[in-house]
Structure 1
Amino acid sequence: MLCGLASLEEIFRTEHGAVLQCSNKNCYWLEFAGDCTPFKVADFISFRKQVDTIAVDELLCAPTSSSDLTILMPFRSQRCFVLNVTEVVRLKELMQGAKFMMELPGVIKDCLKVSSLQSY
């Protein structure tokens, strides 16, 4: 459950979860698979990279039955994610969308700098 002191802003949401930012506690919250997980900023970025490295095509093509599940244990978190292939795809979509939205202000700022320099 989310902290009562949290001041949350939604970064990205899909029908399967959301990533929220808490300005008061300088952390991120991941809503996924019916649970909310808090992350310090560095831990969230590390977890996002961990999710990015999962090769869905290898999961689908692997001959063993144990490859149907992926286990993720985020650093400094009490939560363990045990995900099937569908859940992995949904989590990857959520994390990639959050990454895009987190980087978007910097991209816009860079574009505005370039366009203002070209107008001179």
Structure 2
Amino acid sequence: MKQDIPNHFIEVYQTPNGAVYQSNKDRCFWVEFNGVITSYKVLCFYKFKKAVDNIDLDLMANNSDAVYDYEIIAPCSCERCYVLTLTEIAELKELLSGAKVMLELNSILYERLYSVLV
């Protein structure tokens, strides 16, 4: 179930499984995933992405032990705890990676545009 997104949110990146928004007003990023939206300060957002990136999908996929069926992620400074399946982790990795690329692209464009104007 998709939540209502405030008007001051700027969409950074979206997939069929979620979206990442930037809020200059709140000075944070908001990650919408599995119908739940969670705020992250900038540093915590990048730490969260790194934690998700460090999950070994091949190990999970190739191991039949029940312990590899789910991964638990508890991001810093966040009340939310993620309990994710292999598929959900792959979807979240895609979402966070796309958001990071868009943020980097935005920084490059900003730098190029304003260095020409100065």
Residue 77 of structure 2 is matched in structure 1 by: 76
SS at match of 2:10: strand
Q: Distance in 2 between matches of 1:106 and 1:86?
A: 31
Q: Is residue 2:64 matched to residue 1:63?
A: yes
Is contact 1:2–1:36 with CA below 8 Å preserved after alignment?
no
Residue equivalent to 1:16: 17
Could you give the per-residue CA deviations for residues 64-118 of structure 1, whole angstroms, max 9, x where no partner exists?
A: 1110100000001010000000000000000000000000133446777xxx8xx
Whether 2:26 is the aligned partner of 1:25: answer: yes
1:45 matched to which residue of 2?
46
The one-letter amino acid of 2:84's match is L
CA RMSD of aligned residues (A): 2.2
How far residue 9 of structure 1 moved from its aligned partner, in angstroms, is 0.1
Equivalent residue letter for 1:15: P
Structure 1: unaligned runs, 5 residues or longer: none
Scaled by the length of structure 1, the TM-score of the pair is 0.84
TM-score where L is the length of structure 2:
0.85
Give the paired residue count.
113
Provide structure 2 residue ranges, at least 5 long, that are not aligned to the other structure: none
Percentage of identical aligned residues: 37
CA–CA distance in structure 2, aligned partners of residues 57 and 80 of structure 1: 23
Aligned structure 1 segments of 4 or more residues deviating by more than 3 angstroms: 1-4, 106-112
Please state how far the C-alpha of 1:25 moved relative to its aligned partner: 1.1
- Greater gyration radius: 1
The code of the aligned residue for 1:9 comes to I
User: What amino acid sits opposite 1:33 in the alignment?
Assistant: N
